Structure 1
Protein backbone atom coordinates (compact mmCIF):
# COMPACT_ATOMS: atom_id res chain seq x y z
CA UNK A 1 0.00 0.00 0.00
CA UNK A 2 1.43 3.38 -1.06
CA UNK A 3 1.82 5.94 1.70
CA UNK A 4 -0.13 9.11 0.98
CA UNK A 5 1.90 12.31 0.64
CA UNK A 6 2.18 14.62 3.61
CA UNK A 7 0.54 17.41 1.59
CA UNK A 8 -1.63 17.11 -1.49
CA UNK A 9 -3.45 20.12 -2.86
CA UNK A 10 -5.13 20.67 -6.19
CA UNK A 11 -6.61 23.75 -7.85
CA UNK A 12 -6.50 26.02 -4.80
CA UNK A 13 -8.10 29.40 -5.38
CA UNK A 14 -8.73 32.29 -3.00
CA UNK A 15 -10.05 35.73 -3.82
CA UNK A 16 -10.26 38.70 -1.45
CA UNK A 17 -12.79 41.10 -2.94
CA UNK A 18 -11.30 41.91 -6.37
CA UNK A 19 -7.83 40.52 -5.61
CA UNK A 20 -7.11 36.90 -6.55
CA UNK A 21 -4.46 35.84 -4.02
CA UNK A 22 -4.27 32.15 -4.99
CA UNK A 23 -5.12 30.99 -8.50
CA UNK A 24 -5.11 27.28 -9.34
CA UNK A 25 -2.22 26.18 -7.10
CA UNK A 26 -1.42 22.46 -7.03
CA UNK A 27 1.53 20.59 -5.52
CA UNK A 28 2.50 17.76 -3.18
CA UNK A 29 4.99 17.29 -0.35
CA UNK A 30 6.18 13.73 0.09
CA UNK A 31 6.90 12.05 3.42
CA UNK A 32 10.39 12.93 4.55
CA UNK A 33 10.69 15.61 1.88
CA UNK A 34 11.64 19.26 2.35
CA UNK A 35 9.78 21.47 -0.11
CA UNK A 36 10.61 25.15 -0.46
CA UNK A 37 7.93 27.70 -1.29
CA UNK A 38 9.42 30.74 -3.03
CA UNK A 39 8.13 33.90 -4.64
CA UNK A 40 8.05 37.68 -4.30
CA UNK A 41 6.00 39.55 -1.72
CA UNK A 42 2.32 39.18 -2.50
CA UNK A 43 2.83 35.99 -4.53
CA UNK A 44 0.31 34.09 -2.35
CA UNK A 45 2.70 31.93 -0.30
CA UNK A 46 1.26 32.69 3.14
CA UNK A 47 -2.30 32.46 1.78
CA UNK A 48 -1.53 28.98 0.45
CA UNK A 49 -0.12 27.93 3.82
CA UNK A 50 -3.17 29.25 5.66
CA UNK A 51 -5.46 27.36 3.27
CA UNK A 52 -3.52 24.14 3.81
CA UNK A 53 -3.81 24.51 7.58
CA UNK A 54 -7.50 25.38 7.53
CA UNK A 55 -6.93 28.92 8.80
CA UNK A 56 -8.46 30.35 5.61
CA UNK A 57 -11.25 28.70 3.60
CA UNK A 58 -10.46 28.40 -0.09
CA UNK A 59 -12.98 29.36 -2.77
CA UNK A 60 -12.07 26.29 -4.82
CA UNK A 61 -9.72 23.32 -4.71
CA UNK A 62 -8.99 20.41 -2.41
CA UNK A 63 -6.45 19.71 0.36
CA UNK A 64 -5.29 16.47 1.94
CA UNK A 65 -2.93 16.50 4.90
CA UNK A 66 -1.34 13.17 5.77
CA UNK A 67 -4.03 11.39 3.78
CA UNK A 68 -6.97 13.14 5.47
CA UNK A 69 -9.07 16.16 4.46
CA UNK A 70 -7.26 19.35 5.42
CA UNK A 71 -9.96 20.45 7.86
CA UNK A 72 -9.99 17.12 9.69
CA UNK A 73 -8.81 17.80 13.30
CA UNK A 74 -7.03 14.42 13.33
CA UNK A 75 -4.87 15.56 10.42
CA UNK A 76 -4.11 18.98 11.84
CA UNK A 77 -3.15 17.47 15.21
CA UNK A 78 -0.19 15.84 13.44
CA UNK A 79 1.05 19.11 11.93
CA UNK A 80 3.53 21.50 13.54
CA UNK A 81 3.31 25.15 12.48
CA UNK A 82 5.48 28.21 12.94
CA UNK A 83 3.68 31.29 11.55
CA UNK A 84 5.56 34.28 10.22
CA UNK A 85 3.96 36.54 12.83
CA UNK A 86 3.84 34.91 16.23
CA UNK A 87 3.29 36.16 19.77
CA UNK A 88 3.75 34.29 23.03
CA UNK A 89 2.49 35.33 26.44
CA UNK A 90 5.35 37.45 27.83
CA UNK A 91 4.60 36.47 31.45
CA UNK A 92 5.12 32.74 30.75
CA UNK A 93 8.45 30.96 30.92
CA UNK A 94 9.67 29.13 27.80
CA UNK A 95 8.88 25.74 29.35
CA UNK A 96 5.37 26.94 30.25
CA UNK A 97 4.74 28.04 26.64
CA UNK A 98 5.70 24.55 25.52
CA UNK A 99 3.46 22.98 28.18
CA UNK A 100 0.54 25.12 27.00
CA UNK A 101 0.92 24.04 23.38
CA UNK A 102 1.25 20.39 24.34
CA UNK A 103 -2.09 20.67 26.14
CA UNK A 104 -3.66 22.48 23.19
CA UNK A 105 -2.46 19.73 20.85
CA UNK A 106 -3.85 17.05 23.15
CA UNK A 107 -0.53 15.23 22.87
CA UNK A 108 1.12 12.96 25.42
CA UNK A 109 4.66 14.34 25.52
CA UNK A 110 6.73 13.50 28.61
CA UNK A 111 8.74 16.22 30.31
CA UNK A 112 12.10 14.87 29.17
CA UNK A 113 11.01 15.20 25.52
CA UNK A 114 9.90 18.77 26.13
CA UNK A 115 13.33 19.55 27.60
CA UNK A 116 14.99 17.86 24.63
CA UNK A 117 12.90 19.97 22.28
CA UNK A 118 14.09 23.19 23.93
CA UNK A 119 17.66 21.90 23.82
CA UNK A 120 17.31 21.17 20.10
CA UNK A 121 16.61 24.86 19.43
CA UNK A 122 19.30 26.14 21.78
CA UNK A 123 17.08 27.16 24.70
CA UNK A 124 17.96 24.47 27.26
CA UNK A 125 19.41 27.07 29.64
CA UNK A 126 16.48 29.47 29.24
CA UNK A 127 13.59 27.09 29.95
CA UNK A 128 12.67 28.92 33.17
CA UNK A 129 13.07 32.46 31.81
CA UNK A 130 10.08 34.62 30.93
CA UNK A 131 9.43 35.02 27.21
CA UNK A 132 9.00 38.78 27.64
CA UNK A 133 12.77 39.05 28.14
CA UNK A 134 13.63 37.09 24.98
CA UNK A 135 15.05 38.70 21.84
CA UNK A 136 13.12 38.20 18.62
CA UNK A 137 15.61 35.53 17.56
CA UNK A 138 15.13 33.65 20.83
CA UNK A 139 11.37 33.87 20.43
CA UNK A 140 11.75 32.43 16.93
CA UNK A 141 13.73 29.54 18.37
CA UNK A 142 10.92 29.01 20.88
CA UNK A 143 8.44 29.03 18.01
CA UNK A 144 10.39 26.22 16.37
CA UNK A 145 10.22 24.24 19.60
CA UNK A 146 6.44 24.81 19.74
CA UNK A 147 6.14 23.54 16.15
CA UNK A 148 8.12 20.38 16.94
CA UNK A 149 7.09 19.45 20.48
CA UNK A 150 4.01 17.31 19.68
CA UNK A 151 5.98 14.93 17.39
CA UNK A 152 4.44 16.16 14.12
CA UNK A 153 4.57 14.19 10.87
CA UNK A 154 4.43 17.43 8.88
CA UNK A 155 6.08 20.72 9.84
CA UNK A 156 5.05 23.98 8.15
CA UNK A 157 7.48 26.86 8.67
CA UNK A 158 6.69 30.39 7.48
CA UNK A 159 9.95 32.44 7.46
CA UNK A 160 11.54 30.43 10.30
CA UNK A 161 14.97 32.12 10.14
CA UNK A 162 14.07 35.76 9.48
CA UNK A 163 15.20 36.92 12.95
CA UNK A 164 18.14 34.54 13.36
CA UNK A 165 21.85 35.26 13.04
CA UNK A 166 24.06 33.06 10.78
CA UNK A 167 24.69 30.57 13.60
CA UNK A 168 20.95 30.33 14.26
CA UNK A 169 20.24 29.74 10.57
CA UNK A 170 22.83 26.97 10.51
CA UNK A 171 21.14 25.40 13.55
CA UNK A 172 17.79 25.46 11.75
CA UNK A 173 19.34 23.83 8.68
CA UNK A 174 20.66 21.01 10.86
CA UNK A 175 17.26 20.69 12.52
CA UNK A 176 15.47 20.42 9.16
CA UNK A 177 17.86 17.75 7.94
CA UNK A 178 17.32 15.83 11.19
CA UNK A 179 13.55 15.98 10.61
CA UNK A 180 14.03 14.71 7.06
CA UNK A 181 16.10 11.79 8.38
CA UNK A 182 13.14 10.87 10.62
CA UNK A 183 10.78 10.98 7.60
CA UNK A 184 9.07 14.15 8.83
CA UNK A 185 7.89 16.28 5.90
CA UNK A 186 8.70 20.00 5.88
CA UNK A 187 7.04 22.82 3.95
CA UNK A 188 9.38 25.80 4.14
CA UNK A 189 8.44 29.33 3.10
CA UNK A 190 11.48 31.58 3.14
CA UNK A 191 12.87 34.69 1.46
CA UNK A 192 16.39 33.45 2.25
CA UNK A 193 16.97 31.68 -1.04
CA UNK A 194 20.38 30.38 -0.02
CA UNK A 195 18.79 28.52 2.89
CA UNK A 196 16.21 26.96 0.58
CA UNK A 197 18.94 25.91 -1.87
CA UNK A 198 20.91 24.20 0.89
CA UNK A 199 18.16 22.04 2.38
CA UNK A 200 15.21 21.63 0.00
CA UNK A 201 14.59 18.59 -2.19
CA UNK A 202 12.10 20.41 -4.40
CA UNK A 203 10.93 23.98 -4.88
CA UNK A 204 7.60 25.55 -5.88
CA UNK A 205 7.83 29.12 -7.17
CA UNK A 206 4.67 31.23 -6.89
CA UNK A 207 4.02 34.48 -8.73
CA UNK A 208 0.78 36.46 -8.60
CA UNK A 209 -1.01 33.52 -7.02
CA UNK A 210 0.02 30.94 -9.62
CA UNK A 211 2.70 28.26 -9.80
CA UNK A 212 5.33 29.79 -12.08
CA UNK A 213 7.70 26.80 -11.84
CA UNK A 214 8.33 23.71 -9.73
CA UNK A 215 10.74 20.82 -9.57
CA UNK A 216 13.94 19.57 -8.04
CA UNK A 217 16.92 21.91 -7.92
CA UNK A 218 18.55 19.94 -10.74
CA UNK A 219 15.40 20.34 -12.86
CA UNK A 220 15.12 24.07 -12.16
CA UNK A 221 18.79 24.94 -12.41
CA UNK A 222 19.77 22.64 -15.25
CA UNK A 223 23.23 21.20 -15.80
CA UNK A 224 26.41 22.55 -14.28
CA UNK A 225 29.04 24.52 -16.11
CA UNK A 226 32.66 23.48 -15.80
CA UNK A 227 35.20 26.16 -16.65
CA UNK A 228 38.72 24.99 -17.39
CA UNK A 229 41.82 27.06 -18.14
CA UNK A 230 43.97 24.82 -20.32
CA UNK A 231 47.04 24.77 -22.54
CA UNK A 232 48.04 22.20 -25.13
CA UNK A 233 44.50 21.35 -26.23
CA UNK A 234 44.34 19.43 -29.50
CA UNK A 235 41.47 17.94 -31.46
CA UNK A 236 41.43 14.80 -29.30
CA UNK A 237 41.14 16.84 -26.09
CA UNK A 238 38.35 18.98 -27.58
CA UNK A 239 36.50 15.84 -28.62
CA UNK A 240 36.90 14.44 -25.10
CA UNK A 241 35.40 17.57 -23.52
CA UNK A 242 32.57 17.71 -26.06
CA UNK A 243 31.69 14.10 -25.21
CA UNK A 244 30.47 15.23 -21.77
CA UNK A 245 28.40 18.23 -22.87
CA UNK A 246 28.22 21.38 -24.95
CA UNK A 247 31.68 22.93 -25.39
CA UNK A 248 32.61 26.59 -25.90
CA UNK A 249 36.05 28.13 -26.10
CA UNK A 250 37.45 31.62 -25.50
CA UNK A 251 41.23 31.57 -25.89
CA UNK A 252 42.53 29.09 -23.35
CA UNK A 253 39.28 29.17 -21.31
CA UNK A 254 37.02 26.22 -22.10
CA UNK A 255 33.46 25.87 -20.79
CA UNK A 256 31.70 22.50 -20.73
CA UNK A 257 27.99 22.41 -19.86
CA UNK A 258 27.53 19.16 -17.98
CA UNK A 259 24.16 17.39 -18.14
CA UNK A 260 23.93 16.42 -14.46
CA UNK A 261 25.79 16.08 -11.15
CA UNK A 262 26.91 12.49 -11.38
CA UNK A 263 29.70 11.67 -8.92
CA UNK A 264 33.09 11.31 -10.53
CA UNK A 265 32.28 12.98 -13.85
CA UNK A 266 34.51 16.03 -13.32
CA UNK A 267 37.55 14.19 -11.88
CA UNK A 268 37.40 11.67 -14.74
CA UNK A 269 37.29 14.43 -17.36
CA UNK A 270 40.29 16.20 -15.82
CA UNK A 271 42.24 12.93 -15.55
CA UNK A 272 41.51 12.12 -19.20
CA UNK A 273 42.69 15.56 -20.31
CA UNK A 274 45.92 15.20 -18.36
CA UNK A 275 46.37 11.77 -19.96
CA UNK A 276 46.09 13.44 -23.36
CA UNK A 277 48.93 15.82 -22.50
CA UNK A 278 46.79 18.85 -21.68
CA UNK A 279 48.14 21.24 -19.03
CA UNK A 280 45.32 22.05 -16.59
CA UNK A 281 45.81 25.43 -14.85
CA UNK A 282 42.36 25.86 -13.25
CA UNK A 283 39.07 24.00 -12.86
CA UNK A 284 36.01 25.94 -11.72
CA UNK A 285 32.66 24.14 -11.36
CA UNK A 286 29.69 26.53 -11.53
CA UNK A 287 25.94 26.45 -11.83
CA UNK A 288 23.19 29.04 -11.99
CA UNK A 289 22.12 29.91 -8.48
CA UNK A 290 18.54 29.44 -7.35
CA UNK A 291 18.30 33.22 -6.90
CA UNK A 292 19.31 33.82 -10.53
CA UNK A 293 16.83 31.17 -11.72
CA UNK A 294 14.07 32.69 -9.60
CA UNK A 295 14.72 36.13 -11.08
CA UNK A 296 14.71 34.70 -14.62
CA UNK A 297 11.36 32.98 -14.01
CA UNK A 298 9.75 36.05 -12.45
CA UNK A 299 11.01 38.38 -15.20
CA UNK A 300 9.65 36.07 -17.88
CA UNK A 301 6.25 36.12 -16.17
CA UNK A 302 5.99 39.92 -16.22
Structure 2
Protein backbone atom coordinates (compact mmCIF):
# COMPACT_ATOMS: atom_id res chain seq x y z
CA UNK A 1 0.00 0.00 0.00
CA UNK A 2 1.27 3.49 -0.87
CA UNK A 3 1.51 5.54 2.33
CA UNK A 4 2.56 8.69 0.45
CA UNK A 5 1.35 9.35 -3.09
CA UNK A 6 1.88 12.63 -4.96
CA UNK A 7 0.74 13.51 -8.46
CA UNK A 8 2.29 16.49 -10.24
CA UNK A 9 2.69 18.40 -6.96
CA UNK A 10 3.66 22.03 -7.59
CA UNK A 11 4.40 24.98 -5.30
CA UNK A 12 4.89 28.46 -6.69
CA UNK A 13 5.69 31.66 -4.80
CA UNK A 14 5.00 34.63 -7.08
CA UNK A 15 6.95 33.92 -10.26
CA UNK A 16 9.25 31.35 -8.66
CA UNK A 17 8.29 27.66 -8.84
CA UNK A 18 9.99 25.89 -5.93
CA UNK A 19 8.51 22.40 -6.44
CA UNK A 20 8.03 21.51 -10.10
CA UNK A 21 5.49 18.72 -10.56
CA UNK A 22 6.59 15.82 -8.36
CA UNK A 23 5.23 12.30 -8.80
CA UNK A 24 6.23 10.11 -5.87
CA UNK A 25 5.02 6.92 -4.21
CA UNK A 26 6.30 5.63 -0.86
CA UNK A 27 5.22 2.18 0.32
CA UNK A 28 4.23 1.17 3.83
CA UNK A 29 7.23 0.17 5.96
CA UNK A 30 9.88 1.98 3.93
CA UNK A 31 12.61 4.26 5.23
CA UNK A 32 12.62 6.69 2.32
CA UNK A 33 15.53 9.10 1.91
CA UNK A 34 15.07 12.49 0.30
CA UNK A 35 18.34 14.11 -0.77
CA UNK A 36 19.10 17.54 -2.12
CA UNK A 37 21.08 20.68 -1.48
CA UNK A 38 19.66 23.67 0.39
CA UNK A 39 17.12 25.35 -1.85
CA UNK A 40 16.32 22.17 -3.79
CA UNK A 41 12.72 22.28 -2.52
CA UNK A 42 12.85 19.44 0.03
CA UNK A 43 11.34 21.34 2.98
CA UNK A 44 8.67 22.95 0.79
CA UNK A 45 7.67 19.49 -0.44
CA UNK A 46 7.40 18.14 3.14
CA UNK A 47 5.49 21.26 4.26
CA UNK A 48 2.85 20.58 1.59
CA UNK A 49 2.44 16.96 2.66
CA UNK A 50 2.19 17.84 6.34
CA UNK A 51 -0.36 20.60 5.78
CA UNK A 52 1.82 23.57 6.73
CA UNK A 53 1.40 25.08 3.25
CA UNK A 54 -1.04 24.35 0.42
CA UNK A 55 0.10 23.12 -3.01
CA UNK A 56 -0.34 25.50 -5.95
CA UNK A 57 -1.48 22.55 -8.08
CA UNK A 58 -1.38 18.76 -8.17
CA UNK A 59 -2.64 16.35 -5.52
CA UNK A 60 -1.38 14.08 -2.76
CA UNK A 61 -2.62 11.42 -0.37
CA UNK A 62 -1.25 10.18 2.97
CA UNK A 63 -2.22 6.78 4.44
CA UNK A 64 -4.79 6.37 1.67
CA UNK A 65 -6.66 9.63 2.33
CA UNK A 66 -6.55 12.66 0.03
CA UNK A 67 -4.77 15.63 1.57
CA UNK A 68 -4.80 17.95 3.28
CA UNK A 69 -6.84 16.00 5.84
CA UNK A 70 -7.15 16.86 9.55
CA UNK A 71 -8.00 13.29 10.60
CA UNK A 72 -4.90 11.91 8.91
CA UNK A 73 -2.71 14.50 10.67
CA UNK A 74 -3.32 12.61 13.94
CA UNK A 75 -1.73 9.51 12.37
CA UNK A 76 1.44 11.22 11.17
CA UNK A 77 4.45 12.51 13.11
CA UNK A 78 6.43 15.56 12.03
CA UNK A 79 9.76 16.75 13.31
CA UNK A 80 9.37 20.55 13.46
CA UNK A 81 11.74 23.41 12.91
CA UNK A 82 13.72 23.64 16.17
CA UNK A 83 12.81 27.34 16.63
CA UNK A 84 9.11 26.63 17.12
CA UNK A 85 9.18 25.25 20.69
CA UNK A 86 7.46 27.01 23.62
CA UNK A 87 10.56 27.94 25.61
CA UNK A 88 8.80 28.41 28.96
CA UNK A 89 7.66 24.74 29.07
CA UNK A 90 9.70 21.71 30.11
CA UNK A 91 10.17 18.83 27.66
CA UNK A 92 7.92 16.66 29.83
CA UNK A 93 5.04 19.16 30.01
CA UNK A 94 5.38 19.91 26.28
CA UNK A 95 5.11 16.23 25.28
CA UNK A 96 2.14 15.71 27.61
CA UNK A 97 0.41 18.73 26.06
CA UNK A 98 1.11 17.53 22.50
CA UNK A 99 -0.18 14.02 23.19
CA UNK A 100 -3.43 15.47 24.56
CA UNK A 101 -3.88 17.64 21.46
CA UNK A 102 -3.35 14.62 19.19
CA UNK A 103 -6.11 12.67 20.97
CA UNK A 104 -3.69 9.98 22.19
CA UNK A 105 -2.99 11.12 25.72
CA UNK A 106 0.39 9.86 26.95
CA UNK A 107 1.11 9.12 30.61
CA UNK A 108 4.10 10.57 32.44
CA UNK A 109 5.85 7.19 32.07
CA UNK A 110 5.21 7.11 28.31
CA UNK A 111 6.58 10.64 27.92
CA UNK A 112 9.67 9.65 29.90
CA UNK A 113 10.17 6.53 27.73
CA UNK A 114 10.10 8.66 24.57
CA UNK A 115 12.55 11.18 26.08
CA UNK A 116 14.78 8.26 27.05
CA UNK A 117 14.68 6.99 23.44
CA UNK A 118 16.03 10.30 22.17
CA UNK A 119 18.53 10.67 25.03
CA UNK A 120 16.81 13.48 26.94
CA UNK A 121 15.61 11.67 30.09
CA UNK A 122 18.09 13.59 32.30
CA UNK A 123 16.71 16.90 30.99
CA UNK A 124 13.00 16.01 31.09
CA UNK A 125 12.18 18.73 33.64
CA UNK A 126 14.49 21.42 32.30
CA UNK A 127 12.92 24.41 30.55
CA UNK A 128 13.25 24.26 26.76
CA UNK A 129 14.76 27.78 26.82
CA UNK A 130 17.88 26.21 28.38
CA UNK A 131 18.15 23.51 25.70
CA UNK A 132 21.07 23.53 23.25
CA UNK A 133 20.53 23.25 19.49
CA UNK A 134 21.26 19.49 19.62
CA UNK A 135 18.81 18.96 22.51
CA UNK A 136 16.09 20.77 20.58
CA UNK A 137 16.74 18.47 17.62
CA UNK A 138 16.18 15.46 19.88
CA UNK A 139 13.04 17.02 21.32
CA UNK A 140 11.81 17.47 17.75
CA UNK A 141 12.13 13.73 17.18
CA UNK A 142 10.35 13.05 20.51
CA UNK A 143 7.54 15.36 19.37
CA UNK A 144 7.24 13.42 16.10
CA UNK A 145 6.76 10.04 17.83
CA UNK A 146 4.95 10.82 21.13
CA UNK A 147 1.50 9.90 19.72
CA UNK A 148 2.71 6.62 18.14
CA UNK A 149 2.13 7.69 14.50
CA UNK A 150 2.11 5.35 11.48
CA UNK A 151 4.02 7.74 9.20
CA UNK A 152 6.91 9.91 10.42
CA UNK A 153 8.57 12.85 8.65
CA UNK A 154 12.10 13.64 9.83
CA UNK A 155 13.74 16.75 8.35
CA UNK A 156 17.54 16.56 8.82
CA UNK A 157 17.24 14.51 12.06
CA UNK A 158 20.97 14.42 12.87
CA UNK A 159 22.37 17.72 11.58
CA UNK A 160 24.05 19.66 14.36
CA UNK A 161 24.16 16.87 16.96
CA UNK A 162 27.21 15.08 18.34
CA UNK A 163 28.46 11.73 17.06
CA UNK A 164 27.16 9.73 20.05
CA UNK A 165 23.68 11.20 19.62
CA UNK A 166 23.77 10.39 15.89
CA UNK A 167 24.24 6.70 16.75
CA UNK A 168 21.35 7.01 19.21
CA UNK A 169 19.04 8.54 16.58
CA UNK A 170 19.99 5.93 13.96
CA UNK A 171 19.15 3.20 16.45
CA UNK A 172 15.78 4.82 17.13
CA UNK A 173 15.00 5.11 13.40
CA UNK A 174 15.73 1.39 12.98
CA UNK A 175 13.51 0.56 16.00
CA UNK A 176 10.61 2.59 14.57
CA UNK A 177 11.09 0.81 11.25
CA UNK A 178 11.00 -2.59 12.97
CA UNK A 179 7.69 -1.58 14.55
CA UNK A 180 6.27 -1.30 11.01
CA UNK A 181 6.28 2.47 10.77
CA UNK A 182 7.03 4.31 7.54
CA UNK A 183 9.73 6.99 7.73
CA UNK A 184 10.38 9.79 5.26
CA UNK A 185 13.62 11.59 6.00
CA UNK A 186 15.63 14.36 4.43
CA UNK A 187 19.33 14.53 5.10
CA UNK A 188 22.57 16.15 4.01
CA UNK A 189 24.45 13.20 5.48
CA UNK A 190 24.81 10.89 2.50
CA UNK A 191 26.46 8.15 4.54
CA UNK A 192 23.45 8.18 6.90
CA UNK A 193 20.96 7.82 4.03
CA UNK A 194 23.00 4.99 2.55
CA UNK A 195 22.99 3.14 5.91
CA UNK A 196 19.31 3.61 6.75
CA UNK A 197 17.15 4.04 3.66
CA UNK A 198 15.55 1.37 1.49
CA UNK A 199 14.97 3.83 -1.36
CA UNK A 200 16.30 7.27 -2.16
CA UNK A 201 15.16 10.22 -4.27
CA UNK A 202 17.61 12.92 -5.34
CA UNK A 203 15.99 16.33 -5.73
CA UNK A 204 17.50 19.21 -7.65
CA UNK A 205 15.96 22.58 -8.43
CA UNK A 206 12.43 21.47 -7.57
CA UNK A 207 12.49 18.18 -9.49
CA UNK A 208 13.33 14.57 -8.63
CA UNK A 209 16.23 13.79 -10.95
CA UNK A 210 16.79 10.18 -9.86
CA UNK A 211 15.06 7.67 -7.63
CA UNK A 212 15.61 4.05 -6.64
CA UNK A 213 17.27 1.67 -4.21
CA UNK A 214 20.98 2.04 -3.47
CA UNK A 215 21.71 -0.86 -5.86
CA UNK A 216 19.56 0.64 -8.61
CA UNK A 217 21.25 4.02 -8.30
CA UNK A 218 24.66 2.36 -8.30
CA UNK A 219 23.94 0.27 -11.39
CA UNK A 220 22.62 3.36 -13.20
CA UNK A 221 25.81 5.32 -12.52
CA UNK A 222 28.25 2.47 -12.56
CA UNK A 223 29.97 2.84 -15.90
CA UNK A 224 33.36 2.38 -14.24
CA UNK A 225 33.87 -0.62 -11.99
CA UNK A 226 37.37 -1.03 -10.59
CA UNK A 227 38.23 -4.72 -10.11
CA UNK A 228 41.26 -5.78 -8.03
CA UNK A 229 42.36 -9.42 -8.25
CA UNK A 230 44.91 -11.33 -6.20
CA UNK A 231 45.91 -14.47 -8.11
CA UNK A 232 48.34 -17.38 -8.28
CA UNK A 233 51.24 -17.73 -10.73
CA UNK A 234 50.35 -17.51 -14.41
CA UNK A 235 51.93 -20.37 -16.43
CA UNK A 236 54.44 -18.96 -18.98
CA UNK A 237 52.65 -20.70 -21.82
CA UNK A 238 49.41 -18.83 -20.99
CA UNK A 239 50.74 -15.40 -19.96
CA UNK A 240 50.72 -13.61 -23.36
CA UNK A 241 47.29 -14.98 -24.29
CA UNK A 242 45.75 -14.02 -20.93
CA UNK A 243 47.21 -10.49 -20.90
CA UNK A 244 46.09 -9.81 -24.47
CA UNK A 245 42.58 -10.98 -23.58
CA UNK A 246 42.53 -8.79 -20.42
CA UNK A 247 43.58 -5.71 -22.41
CA UNK A 248 40.51 -6.22 -24.60
CA UNK A 249 38.23 -6.88 -21.61
CA UNK A 250 38.70 -3.53 -19.88
CA UNK A 251 40.79 -0.40 -19.44
CA UNK A 252 43.64 0.83 -17.24
CA UNK A 253 45.13 -2.61 -16.74
CA UNK A 254 47.81 -2.55 -14.03
CA UNK A 255 49.94 -5.49 -12.86
CA UNK A 256 52.21 -5.89 -9.86
CA UNK A 257 53.52 -9.33 -8.82
CA UNK A 258 50.45 -11.51 -8.31
CA UNK A 259 48.01 -8.64 -8.23
CA UNK A 260 46.07 -7.05 -11.01
CA UNK A 261 43.74 -4.07 -11.35
CA UNK A 262 41.41 -3.41 -14.26
CA UNK A 263 38.50 -1.04 -14.92
CA UNK A 264 35.46 -2.54 -16.64
CA UNK A 265 32.14 -1.10 -17.81
CA UNK A 266 29.77 -3.92 -16.82
CA UNK A 267 29.41 -6.26 -13.87
CA UNK A 268 29.26 -9.36 -16.12
CA UNK A 269 32.86 -8.64 -17.21
CA UNK A 270 33.99 -9.65 -13.70
CA UNK A 271 32.61 -13.18 -14.22
CA UNK A 272 34.30 -13.36 -17.66
CA UNK A 273 37.67 -12.34 -16.17
CA UNK A 274 37.48 -15.03 -13.46
CA UNK A 275 36.53 -17.61 -16.10
CA UNK A 276 39.54 -16.58 -18.23
CA UNK A 277 41.88 -17.05 -15.24
CA UNK A 278 40.40 -20.50 -14.57
CA UNK A 279 40.81 -21.53 -18.22
CA UNK A 280 44.48 -20.56 -18.03
CA UNK A 281 44.86 -22.69 -14.86
CA UNK A 282 45.43 -19.63 -12.65
CA UNK A 283 44.06 -19.64 -9.08
CA UNK A 284 42.03 -16.58 -8.06
CA UNK A 285 42.48 -15.87 -4.32
CA UNK A 286 40.61 -12.62 -3.91
CA UNK A 287 38.42 -10.28 -5.95
CA UNK A 288 37.66 -6.75 -4.69
CA UNK A 289 35.19 -4.48 -6.45
CA UNK A 290 35.10 -0.74 -5.86
CA UNK A 291 31.60 0.67 -6.18
CA UNK A 292 30.55 4.32 -6.16
CA UNK A 293 29.29 5.59 -2.81
CA UNK A 294 26.05 7.52 -2.53
CA UNK A 295 28.19 10.65 -2.20
CA UNK A 296 29.83 9.98 -5.58
CA UNK A 297 26.43 9.27 -7.15
CA UNK A 298 24.99 12.46 -5.69
CA UNK A 299 27.95 14.59 -6.76
CA UNK A 300 27.83 13.02 -10.21
CA UNK A 301 24.16 13.94 -10.45
CA UNK A 302 24.98 17.53 -9.52
CA UNK A 303 27.76 17.66 -12.12
CA UNK A 304 25.57 16.19 -14.85
CA UNK A 305 22.96 18.84 -14.26
CA UNK A 306 25.39 21.72 -14.00
CA UNK A 307 25.17 21.94 -10.19
Say whether the fold is shared (TM-score over 0.5).
Answer: yes
Aligned to 1:254: 261
In structure 1, what is the Cα distance between the partners aligned to 2:203 and 2:177? 24
Q: CA 1:141–1:255 in 2, change beyond 3 Å: closer, same or farther?
A: same
Aligned to 1:86: 83
| Preserved contact between residue 94 and residue 131 of structure 1 (Cα < 8 Å) | yes
Q: Compute the RMSD of aligned alpha carbons.
A: 2.9
Aligned to 1:189: 186
Aligned to 1:294: 298
Aligned residues: 286
3-state SS of 1:86 partner: helix
- The Cα shift of 1:226 comes to 3.9
Structure with greater Cα Rg: 2
Segment of structure 1 superposing worse, 192-201 or 217-226: 217-226
| Preserved contact between residue 82 and residue 133 of structure 2 (Cα < 8 Å) | no
Aligned to 2:172: 175
Segment of structure 1 superposing worse, 215-224 or 133-142: 215-224
In structure 1, what is the Cα distance between the partners aligned to 2:104 and 2:293? 41
Q: CA 1:135–1:233 in 2, change beyond 3 Å: closer, same or farther?
A: farther
In structure 2, what is the Cα distance between the partners aligned to 1:198 and 1:167? 16
Instruction: Structure 2 unaligned segments of length 5 or more: list them.
Output: none
3-state SS of 2:83 partner: coil
3-state SS of 2:134 partner: helix
Asked whether 1:278 is paired with 2:276, we answer no
Q: CA 1:114–1:11 in 2, change beyond 3 Å: closer, same or farther?
A: same
- The Cα shift of 1:238 comes to 6.5
In structure 1, what is the Cα distance between the partners aligned to 2:115 and 2:80? 18
In structure 2, what is the Cα distance between the partners aligned to 1:180 and 1:173? 11
In structure 2, what is the Cα distance between the partners aligned to 1:34 and 1:50? 18
3-state SS of 1:46 partner: helix
3-state SS of 2:129 partner: helix
Aligned to 1:5: 2
Q: CA 1:17–1:181 in 2, change beyond 3 Å: closer, same or farther?
A: same
